[in-house]
Amino acid sequence: MLRISDAQVHRALAERMRFYHELGIYDFYRREPSAVAVGEYAAEAPTARDSIIQPEMREEMPARNPAAAVRPVSDDNIFEVLSPKPEYGVADPAAALKIIREDLGDCIRCKLHKQGRKQIVFGVGNPRAELMFVGEGPGADEDAQGEPFVGRAGQLLNNMIKAMGLQREQVYIANIVNCRPPGNRTPERDECETCSPFLMRQIAVIKPKVVVALGAVAAKNLLAINAPMSELRGRWYDFRPAGARSNDLSSDSPSWNGVRLAVTYHPAFLLRDPRQKGEAWKDLQMVMKYLGIEPPNKAAE
C-alpha cells in the first residue's frame, strides 16, 4: 500500500499554494462534502431559459432550500494560515485597494474573460466609506465604461444615495463579479466563487459599517443563504468577509469584527417594478437609522 509522508503532503501543498498565488488567488476555504451540497449544485444548474432572463426579472425567484444556513469557515484552515494577502500591512486603504486591483490584473481566472467582456469593472468610491453597495455584475454600460452602476440602474442608485443625504463619492460600490456575463445572464456559481475573494478583500480593506446587498444574487452570494427576497429583506445580518481575521487586519483597527449587512432590491428590478420603490426606501431608512443619517428634508428644517 502506498504511504504518503507528512513532508510529501507539505511539499504538495506548498506547490499548490504557489500555483494559486501566481493566479492571484489568496483565499481558500474548507467545504465539507455533503449530499445536500451536491443537490444544491445540481438544482442551481442554469437552463437555457435562465440564460436570457435579465437581472431585474430574477429578483423574486423562489428559494430551492429556504432552510439553508451559512456554513462557517473553520478557524484552523491551513490554507488561510499559509495565505497572507499582498495588501496586509498597508495602512492606507486607497493604496491597499490599488494592490488588490493590480493583483486582479486582466483577469482570465474564469470563462467570462472569453465570453465577450470588454474590461474588468472593479469597485469604485470612497476607500474609507462607512456604507458599501454590492450588486450582481456589470451590464453593457458598465462594461463599456469600466465602472459599476453607470447605466439606467446606476442613475437610479445615484438617486437612492442622494435621497439618503449622501453623494456617490461618499460610498463604495462593487459587484459580485467583475466581468459582464454574456447577455446579462446570472453569474454562474464558479464565476462568483472565483471573483468573491477579491470582493471580500475590498470589504476587509474598506471596513465599512454597513454593506447593502442589491438584489437576490448579491444577497445569496454574500450570505450563502438560499431564500427569497421577501425573507432576506427587513433585517440585519452580522457579516464578516470570508478569510478576514482580526489579527490579519491593519493595526489601526485590530479588533474589527465585520459589518452589518442589509438586503434591498436591485435598482434594475425597481425600474421594472416601480411599485417596490417604497419597500426599498424602507430598507434604506433602516440603514440610515443605524448610521445616524438624517434625511435631507428633515435636516433642512
- Does the pLDDT at position 75 exceed 50? no
Q: Which of 56-70, 122-136, 232-246, 272-286 has the lowest mean pLDDT?
A: 56-70
Position with higher pLDDT, 57 vs 146: 146
- The number of domains in the chain is 1
> What pLDDT does 99 receive?
97
Q: Cα–Cα distance between 214 and 262 in angstroms, integer?
A: 9
Position with higher pLDDT, 144 vs 39: 144
Position with higher pLDDT, 280 vs 42: 280
> What pLDDT does 84 receive?
74
241 lies in some domain:
yes
pLDDT band at 28 (very low <50, low <70, confident <90, very high): low
Q: Which of 1-5, 52-56, 159-163, 230-234 has the lowest mean pLDDT?
A: 52-56
211 lies in some domain:
yes
Q: Are 83 and 14 in contact (CB under 8 A)?
A: no
Residues 142-182: tens digit of each pLDDT: 999 999 999 999 999 999 999 999 999 999 999 999 999 99
Residues 184-223: tens digit of each pLDDT: 999 999 999 999 999 999 999 999 999 999 999 999 999 9
- CA-based radius of gyration for the chain: 20
Give CA angle at 290 (251, 266), nearest 5°. 100
Residue 135's H or E segment, with its range, is strand 131-135
Q: Cα–Cα distance between 230 and 265 in angstroms, integer?
A: 10
268 lies in some domain:
yes
151 lies in some domain:
yes
1 lies in some domain:
no
Query: Above pLDDT 70, what percent of the chain?
Result: 67
> What pLDDT does 244 receive?
67
Q: What is the CATH number of the domain that holds 56?
A: 3.40.470.10
238 lies in some domain:
yes
On whether the pTM is more than 0.85, the answer is: no
> What pLDDT does 52 receive?
42
| Residue carrying the nine cell digits 474598506 | 206
178 lies in some domain:
yes
Average pLDDT value over all residues in the chain? 80
Question: What does the pLDDT average to over 83-90?
Answer: 84
Q: Can you read off the three cell numbers belonging to residue 210?
A: 454597513
pLDDT band at 78 (very low <50, low <70, confident <90, very high): very low
Positive or negative: CA dihedral 17, 98, 102, 179: positive
- Closest by Cα among 227, 218, 223 to 267: 218
- Closest by Cα among 144, 166, 269, 271 to 210: 166
- Does the pLDDT at position 301 exceed 90? no
pLDDT band at 253 (very low <50, low <70, confident <90, very high): low
- Does the pLDDT at position 40 exceed 60? no
Three-state SS string over 175-236 comes to ECCCCCCHHHCCCCHHHHHHHHHHHHHHHHHHCCCEEEEECHHHHHHHHCCCCCHHHHCCCC
Question: What does the pLDDT average to over 19-24?
Answer: 60
Domain that holds residue 14: 6-300
DSSP annotation of 107 reads -
Q: Can you read off the three cell numbers belonging to residue 57?
A: 426579472
Residue 104 — left, alpha, or beta (φ > 0 → left; ψ -120 to 50 → alpha)?
alpha
Question: What does the pLDDT average to over 227-237?
Answer: 96
Question: What does the pLDDT average to over 73-87?
Answer: 55
Position with higher pLDDT, 271 vs 40: 271
